[in-house]
Amino acid sequence: MAQTFDFIIVGAGSAGCVLADRLTANGRYKVLLIEAGGSDRRFWIKIPVGYGFTFSDPKVNWRYSAAADPGLNGRAAYWPRGKVLGGSSSINAMAYVRGLPHDFDDWEAAGATGWGWDNVRRSYEALETNDEWHEGRRRLRGTGPVRVTDLSERMHPFAGNFLAAGQDMGWPFLPDMNAAAEEGTNTLPGEGMGYVRSTVKDGRRWSSADAFLRPAMKRGNLTVISGALVEKVLTKGGRATGVAFRVKGQPQTAMAAREVILSAGAVNSPQLLQLSGIGPAALLHRHGIQVAHDLPQVGQGLQDHLAVSHFYWANTATLNDRLGSFAKQMKAGLQYVLTRKGPLSVPVNQCSGFVRTAGAALPDVQVYCNPASYSTQANGKPQIDRDNGFLLCVQPSRPVSRGQITIQSADPAQAPMIEPNSLSAAEDKATAIRASHLLQALAATPAMKRVTRERRVPDIAGMDDTALLENFRERAGSVFHASCTCRMGHTATDSVLDARLRVHGMAGLRVIDASSFPNVTSGNTNAPTMMLAARGAEMVLKDNENRPLAAE
């Protein structure tokens, strides 16, 4: 006989871990958390620079591939997604970036009432504990479970050249990308260049599993099942009643007295809805799935960020000088094991910020600068160059193009079709060109020219608009910020969810993860995903205050 819980959460990722913690905290509710992956207690997960080694590891990664993308000259992009406790927060680059205020005001305008900047800012503040430098000493600011650490004193000295280049460009220096803008300036929060703040604590990755799930697992009212593939949401009479899943090939079911909450991410949440008969009726009929609820927008609206990177050879030491040979890597590994310090204790993404391209009213590009040169081998593992080099990268922040995710069969084990539809909007092509001009200018600043020995092929220095767009099409790739495939909105005609993250027309069912975003935020998506989950948990608790318990 299937066991009954108050809430069933599908997916123990950035959002699911937050929900498991918040929904069990009062001790009132029985909660089941189901995760397809296994334990996150792995060396390359915990070590900050180790995400290069989890990038293609099938033990912790879904390793999806998108369909051939016409906007990227027919290239099929690799889409890593976390398949492990902590989800993508266990394999990401650990950048903690809230996004810009207008991102969330746009959410509200799209129908996500109550999700404007003033509200989400307070939620962020409650989540965070900032470990930072203040007047020459380290201090902790805030009391939240998410540790956001200023690692600037551990970053490679070469990173200072990026900040100098930013000054040459007229960009303000940012001590904290997430802080409020200085009064009396025309800049916005996050506008300028600074050191990236990271979800790292005491030299180790601090994932959503660390911050939220580990405390929750000490409570007797939380059950966690890992290594379990959820095959469908069970429904009856227009209501979600439970889930069917498999563990080691054995079918199981669990029932939900209150709600089923999907937190499986921007790829898997729409896939699971469609497998459950909730989605576009024509698609479901095509794959022989009985329609439980015709909801055309499920899987539609996919957004992601594309970035184009260029490498340069340096005439001075970069991170390659510390990690560019096996002997140096062993030395750095020993230093990390003994002290939790050294080059392995800091993510490779070290400087970033939001800037405006020519004529832009708001910051429309995120810049990344890394003091290292590297490549990815055929097996997916990183290969750092022996010679000293560095990377400059630009990412259009607010794309307009939208793609889709659709099931390819009724088999839950078959990956869905991912169609990004990149650069399909004229506005995105124009932004890509302006962003590429900005990269040209950044590489030509006096600060960068002083440390550049050689530009590597392809050299964009002399490219015109046509060549820059073609270069972007040929070389730009995902930075793994998939979102919006079950987005909040006004009605079922333009969205999947209402502003309280409830599936339109289906009782007892919510989606709470990056797929719920109305539009992708300007930067890295881990921070807004955790914020969304924290606010979503408040809504779930409020909406269930007066309903009977599972055991009653």
> Contact 244/234 with Cβ under 8 angstroms?
yes
> Contact 408/417 with Cβ under 8 angstroms?
yes
Segment holding 96, helix H or strand E: none
Say how many C-beta atoms besides its own lie within 10 A of residue 181's C-beta. 16
- Residue 516: helix, strand or coil by DSSP? helix
Out of 285, 481, 490, 504, pick the active-site residue.
481
- Per the DSSP assignment, residues forming a β-bridge with 242 are 234, 255
Residue with tokens 């073609």: 470
Structure tokens at 26: 């009062």
Burial readout 6-23 (b: 16 or more C-beta within 10 A, e: otherwise): bbbbbbbbbbbbbbbbbb
Say how many C-beta atoms besides its own lie within 10 A of residue 374's C-beta. 18
Separation of alpha carbons 386 and 392, rounded Å: 18
Alpha helices in 293-360 (DSSP H): 320-323, 326-339
Is position 134 annotated as part of the catalytic site?
no
> Contact 129/320 with Cβ under 8 angstroms?
no
Separation of alpha carbons 431 and 439, rounded Å: 12
Amino acid identity of residue 103, one-letter, is D
Separation of alpha carbons 99 and 362, rounded Å: 13
- Residue 424: helix, strand or coil by DSSP? coil
Separation of alpha carbons 316 and 159, rounded Å: 12
Sequential DSSP letters for 381-411:
-EEE-SS-EEEEEEEESS----EEEE-SSS-
Distance from the first to the final alpha carbon of the chain: 17
Give me the active site residues, please. Answer: 481
